[in-house]
Amino acid sequence: MHPVLRTVLQRLGLGVLTLIVVSVVIFSSLELLPGGYAENILGQGATPETVANFKKELGLDRPAYVRYFEWIGGVAQGDFGASYSGVGGTNKREVAHVIAPRLYNTFFLAILTAIIAVPLSLFLGVMAALYRNSWYDRIVNAVTLTTIAAPEFLIAYLLMLLFALKWKWFPSLSTVGETTPFFEHLYRAALPAITLTLVIVAHMMRMTRAALINLLASPYMEMAKLKGVPAREAIVKHALPNAWAPIATVVAFNLAYLVVGVVIVEVVYVYPGIGQLMVDSVSSRDMPVVQACALIFAATYILLNLSADVVSIITNPRLLHPK
């Protein structure tokens, strides 16, 4: 078997094993939370008998390990179970139907941000490496360090203050629905996308710059310089292809953040994504929805990290051309 294929299959196996372990952690952690859906719906005045009957109706009276295997077995078949939403748990909805529109909104925001942030960060990183120690490099580094140091909610509120309240270019609340037209959705998601772009561009730009500067001191780059190859062409054609492994890892981490770490931004802008849904579900103790959201977050993070590993493997000449 080719070393690349063998390594990729090993990474896939580790990814599946990691996801199983994460599912156990998610289910166990939610089981340890104080209170529950029954207590939250029935209130403090409910008698123990009423709470017990309500739990029996929802199937919460069974052992935790039985419910876990039922849940993970359903997930393997694409069934995340039924939500507890509804009065007294009698108006249940499928978790997949609850999550689907919110997941679309989150991926819409993540893709919109990635389309802006990834090319911008690569361009800024290449230019910063090309004009190292110049005023441009110092200004870009100062701005990126500032955005890294500032928390997401602070950046979000500052952008909201300027672009929504003072200049009135964008709405302060990014409320969208299933019937919202595409361009209207694009307009309402602009401020959250700008916020996320400012957060992740800094990390990707600085890693691109560091990887290229490290390669500029290598012998083959010195040889290209002695041959009279222009600095820009040497970076783009020779240094950048060899820097893809660390850059791809950072890009994957930041793309994972766009889906996993978007909770704060969604809450600030009241954007109806999966992060906002998870926060609301935790408040109402709707555990099937919380479990599904957490598992989707974990699967996304593992998948993107696996993709970064595959890119690193493919760009490794020692694996592509074994002796």
* HEC letters along 54-83: HHHHHCCCCCHHHHHHHHHHHHHCCCCCEC
Say how far apart CA 149 and CA 2 lie, in whole Å: 44
**What DSSP letter does each residue of 232-287 carry, written as one string?**
HHHIIIIIHHHTHHHHHHHHHHHHHHHHHS-HHHHHHHT--SHHHHHHHHHHHT-H
Q: Which residue has the tokens 């094993």?
A: 17
- Residue 277 to residue 197: CA distance in whole angstroms: 22
Provide the pLDDT for residue 322: 55
Reported for 14-20, long-range contacts at CB under 8 A and 24+ positions apart, including other chains, are 15/302, 15/303, 15/305, 15/306, 18/302, 19/295, 19/298, 19/299, 19/302, 20/72
The CATH superfamily label for domain 97-284 reads: MetI-like (1.10.3720.10)
141: left (phi over 0), alpha (psi -120 to 50) or beta: alpha
Backbone angles phi, psi at 169, to 5 degrees: -85, -35
Q: Residue 226: what pLDDT? A: 76
Closest CA to 250 of 205, 193, 296: 205
Q: Locate tokens 């529109």: which residue?
A: 101
Contact 270, 189 (CB under 8 A): no
Is 109 in a helix, a strand, or coil?
Answer: helix
Cβ neighbourhood burial of 2 (10 Å; 0-12, 13-18, 19+): exposed
| Domain assignments of the chain as residue spans, ordered by start | 1-84+285-323, 97-284
pLDDT at 87: 42
Alpha helices in the chain (DSSP H): 3-31, 37-42, 48-58, 64-76, 95-130, 135-149, 152-159, 182-188, 190-216, 219-226, 231-234, 240-242, 244-260, 263-269, 274-284, 287-314, 317-320
Q: Identify whether the C-beta of residue 246 lies closer than 8 Å to the C-beta of residue 206.
A: no
Residue 40: the pLDDT is 65
Amino acid identity of residue 149, one-letter, is A
Place of tokens 């694009």: 186
pLDDT along the chain (323 residues), means of 10: 73 86 87 68 70 75 84 86 62 80 89 89 84 85 83 88 89 83 89 88 83 77 77 74 75 79 84 86 82 88 81 66 56
Contact 83, 228 (CB under 8 A): no
